[in-house]
């Protein structure tokens, strides 16, 4: 893994931890909902979960929906490396 990839992974894990604290009790239900959307999109497009999340996050950012963009990325992390 390159240094850039390691820094990106660390940033995603930190963002996940922050979102967990912010959302509290609804975190896992929100991630389950967004994760299902990512899985469905991944299966229908043949793209990987992170690639789908990146594309959706980029589109959300473009529309000024920064919060939604973060949700896509964190949900992807949850799908790939579930937290407790």
Cα of 83 vs its chain's centroid, Å: 13
DSSP code string of 29-52: HHHHHHHHHHHHHHHHH---HHHH
Q: What is the pLDDT along the chain (84 residues), one digit of tens a residue?
A: 688 878 888 899 999 999 999 999 999 999 999 999 999 999 999 999 999 999 999 999 999 999 999 999 999 999 999 987
Q: Tell me the whole-structure pTM to 2 decimals.
A: 0.89
């Amino acid at each position: 893994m390159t240094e850039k990839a390691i820094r990106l992974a660390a940033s995603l894990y930190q963002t996940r931890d922050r979102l967990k604290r912010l959302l509290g009790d609804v975190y896992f239900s929100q991630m389950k909902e967004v994760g299902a959307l990512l899985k469905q999109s991944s299966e229908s497009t043949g793209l990987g979960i992170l690639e789908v999340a990146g594309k959706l996050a980029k589109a959300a950012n473009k529309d000024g929906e920064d919060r939604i963009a973060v949700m896509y990325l964190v949900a992807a992390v949850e799908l790939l490396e579930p937290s407790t």
